Structure formats: structure tokens, C-alpha cells
Amino acid sequence: MRALETSDRELVALMTEAMRLAGAYWTSLDERPSYPSTSGAETARLFDRPWMDEGRGGDVLNDFRAMAEHVRPCTGRFFGYVAGSGEPVGAVGDFLASVLNQNSTSWRSAPAAVTIERAVVGWLADAIGCDGFAGQLCGGGSMANLMALAIARETLSPANEDGARPGVVYASEHVHMSVPKAVALLGLGRSNLRLVPADADFRLRIDALEAAIDSDRRLGKMPLAIVANGGTVATGAVDPLRELADIAAAEGLWLHVDGAFGVPAAMAVPEKFAGLNRANSISLDAHKWLYQPIDCSCLLYRDRDAARKTFSHSGDYVRIFNEDPSETFAFFEESIELTRRFRALKLWMSLQYHGRNAYREAISRDLQHAQRLADAIQALPDLELLAPVPLSAVCFRHRTGNNEAILQRVVARGRVYLSNATIKGDFALRACFVNHRTRPEDVDEIVSEVMAAADEV
Ligand SMILES: Cc1ncc(COP(=O)(O)O)c(C=O)c1O
């Protein structure tokens, strides 16, 4: 046999066993702890291994069994961060995408994959009320935010004599860390990010934004873009999008909505996102609140040509000879990436398999879970809700206990996983619902586990 070749018989055996392991893993999720009881030393002992000269064959699948005990399981009782649930049909799609091994960079290199990605992006735009937006899939919200601000800079900031494109970016003080990172990477300069104060509901204050823009103009600075939160990572606050769109239009600024966490909820509660369709660009993470396996984010933009102007750096090596516009289409002309995964297949399969209503219902259920938890917290004198709950993130604390110790104890008990946030300077316990597996009884365990942990610490 040639090097790297696998016989048909071996391959079938490998796939059959892999599928059996996957099925067993998915059906066992409910019994698994919400976080593995492991340590750095133990995972290093198991997985920090050399690459041997001789292969082990199908024995490698045994490692999967060990891995399954040492990963964060996507159980319906994991409520930390913004951790999507890895919908299984999407995982099957991801496997098949690897089988096809397409480079979704241009129609010529992957006709079906590119056509499917364009279709899926169109469905997502339409689902959130932004019909007609173009866009692309990418690895994550951080990448989507970076590309959005790169397009904003290219479009609105003419290069000065040094070739630099200066500009000030405005965002609420609760903006996700990926935005300061993008501003820094784009060379706009850390001092050109204005973190605008938010109101009591954690929404960007319009009066403060107007004052900041006014002050910058008077100092001779060039306002460039507003980044609005379509669901802040800590509390899910949605900035006043309509007012921000008005300001962006009046001031000639780019409006980007970072909806990596929250924007899928526009399918269920569109009224909370009024004005979204006036944005210039929007990021939306399908690997968060569309339950898809990592990685799968989407950047939408109103003006495809703006994206092209930013990223179209062609080379002879990728020259396209065709004339038909659908056949000359190339994602590499509007993206940082040249070689691109066939991310669209998991979305295609999962969205088509379940249908739009199932997604709308799953998101609505997550919103209800958050309200259920908020109600339970408010019904208990020992607990205190620390922020409004506009979407599916709930921040709260034990009034008298040591909340940091309580959090660690909750995680160690292994029934539910919570993460933390800082709310107006206070340490908060935080639960976020973006998991199609979560049931109401899982939500009820949050309060009982926090109370039990408080008794133990
Ligand atoms: C509001 C928001 N923006 C951006 C991001 C970054 O997304 P990613 O982790 O996919 O890069 C996150 C991640 O949680 C987020 O919640």
C-alpha cells in the first residue's frame, strides 16, 4: 500500500466506529457533569504525546473516549460564557464538508460550496430582517468585527500622506474585547477608541455619544465608525440601534452592529432590534445562538463593493478567465481569507433539516429560560438580580455569600456551569442560554445549586 493510504475496509470500520462513538457521546450528554473534573497535569499526561514514527491505526479512536471525559460537554446545563450547543446535524454537515474538502474561495474552485455559502448568507440576512445584505462566513465574531472595521476604514477614511487611514471608533463601555483588538490591529490607535458611557440598562448613551463626536470634531479628529452592541456579552443589552443609525447617517459614519451573541434573537423578538437593517455591517455568530458546531460566524454588509475595495488584492495565481458574473464570483476578493473552509455545509444541512420555525422556537425557549431564572432569583431573598434581562444572559449574586467562592463551588459540584461578569464593579454570577438542549428543569437547578454551594462555602 502507498504511504497514507487507508484500505476501504479499514476506512469503513473507522467511520462506523467513529459514528458509533459520536452517537454514544451525544446520547450521554445529559448524564455528563457540566464540567470535567480534571487538571492540567492529568490532561497533559493523557494528551501531551509525541508523534511516533509508526502509526497506531484505528487505535486512535480510543483516544476519543478519553477526550470525551476531558472536554467541556455541550450539556443543557452548561451556562457559561456564550457557549453554543453544537447541533448534531450541523456536525454531520461539518464531517461531510471535510469529506468534500472544498476551498470555498471562488466559484471556480468550489462551484457548489460557494453557491451554497451565498445562499446560506442570504437566509441569515433575511431571517434577521436584513434582506439584501451580502456577506460571508468566517471563523468567529472577532474576525467578523475586524473585517467590518477594516471595510469601514477603507470606505470612509482616505489615506493621508503616510498611507495611514486615521479615524475614531465609538462603542459603549460594554463592548466586547474583540473591538478594541480590531481597532489596535487596524492601526487606528488605542487612543482612537472612545468607550462611551452606558445608561442604567447597560445601553450606550446617545447624549454621551453625541458629545464625544462633537468634541472629537472640534479637536480636528475624524469620527469614523460606531460599533453598536446587538447584545453585550455580559448582560445582553442591545444598544439603541435606530438612534445610532440616525446619528451615523447624520454624521456620515459607518454603523457596525456586533451581534455575535445577540442578533439571532431578531428572529424571535425583532422589535428589540429595530433599526438593525440600517447598519452598514453586522456580525452574527452561528456557533453561538444558532447552535452550530464551532466555527461558524457570519459577517453581513450592505455594500459588497465596499468589501471588495478593502480585500480585493488579486494575484496572477488566482486570475479568473471566465466572464459569467456568477462564475467569476470570489469570496477571496471580499475577505481576509484566501483558502476558506466549507463552513456553509453545516448551516445548509442543519437549517434545512430543522426548518426556520424550529430555530425561532429554540431561540424563544432560551429567552424564556432567562426569564424563568430571573423570576426565580427575584423570588428568593438571598439572591439579587444585578442587571435587566433583555435577551438570554442573567447576572446575579448571592447577597451575603462570597460570590467568587460560590462560583468555584458551583462549578466543582458539576451539576451546572456558570461563568462570571463584573456588573457596576460587583462580581456577578452569570448564566447564558444559547443551548437547544436546555430544559426548564435544568434552569431550575441553577438556583438550587447556587444555594447549595453557598451553604458549603
Ligand atoms: C458580543 C460579542 N462579540 C464578539 C465576540 C467574539 O466572538 P468569537 O469568540 O466568535 O470570536 C463575542 C464572544 O463571546 C461576543 O459575545
Q: Say how many Å lie between the CA of residue 232 and the centre of ligand 1.
A: 9
- What is each CA distance from 297 to 132, 287, 300, 390, in whole angstroms? 18, 6, 10, 22
Q: Which atom of ligand 1 is nearest to the CA of 144?
A: 11
Nearest to 331, CA basis, from 42, 137, 52, 78: 137
pLDDT at position 322 is: 67
Grid coordinates of 413: 459540584
For residue 55, give the amino acid letter: G
Pocket lining: 258 vs ligand 1, CB cutoff 6 Å: yes
Pocket lining: 109 vs ligand 1, CB cutoff 6 Å: no
Neighbours of 5 (CB within 10 A): 8
Q: What is the mean pLDDT of the chain?
A: 96
How many helices (H) and strands (E) would you count in the chain? 16, 11
Neighbours of 67 (CB within 10 A): 14
Do the two domains 93-354 and 359-456 of this chain adopt the same fold? no
Mutate to test the pocket of ligand 1, among 79, 81, 142 (most ligand atoms within 8 A of CB): 142
The CATH class for the domain spanning 359-456 reads alpha beta
pLDDT at position 319 is: 61
Give the span between the Cα atoms of 393 and 405, in whole angstroms.
21
Residues of the chain with pLDDT under 50: none
Give the span between the Cα atoms of 309 and 313, in whole angstroms.
9
Q: Which atom of ligand 1 is nearest to the CA of 139?
A: 10
Q: Which atom of ligand 1 is nearest to the CA of 82?
A: 14
| E strand or H helix at 168 | strand 168-172
Q: Say how many Å lie between the CA of residue 45 and the centre of ligand 1.
A: 31
Nearest to 280, CA basis, from 141, 153, 428: 153
Are the CB atoms for 238 and 244 separated by under 8 Å? Answer: no
Q: What is the pTM of this model?
A: 0.96
Q: Say how many Å lie between the CA of residue 297 and the centre of ligand 1.
A: 9
Cis peptide before 295 (omega within 30 of 0): yes
Pocket lining: 292 vs ligand 1, CB cutoff 6 Å: no
Q: Say how many Å lie between the CA of residue 293 and the centre of ligand 1.
A: 15
What's the fold here for domain 93-354?
Aspartate Aminotransferase; domain 2 (3.40.640)
Are the CB atoms for 216 and 168 separated by under 8 Å? Answer: yes
What are the domain boundaries of the chain? 93-354, 359-456
pLDDT at position 326 is: 81
Kindly provide the b/e burial profile for residues 365-386, where b requires at least 16 CB atoms within 10 angstroms of the residue's own CB: bbbebbebbbebbeeeeebebb
What are the start-end ranges of the E strands in 1-51? Answer: none
Q: Say how many Å lie between the CA of residue 140 and the centre of ligand 1.
A: 7
- What is each CA distance from 146 to 179, 188, 237, 339, 449, in whole angstroms? 7, 12, 21, 18, 39
- The residue whose CA is least distant from atom 16 of ligand 1 is 233
Q: Which atom of ligand 1 is nearest to the CA of 287?
A: 10
Mutate to test the pocket of ligand 1, among 178, 238, 289 (most ligand atoms within 8 A of CB): 178
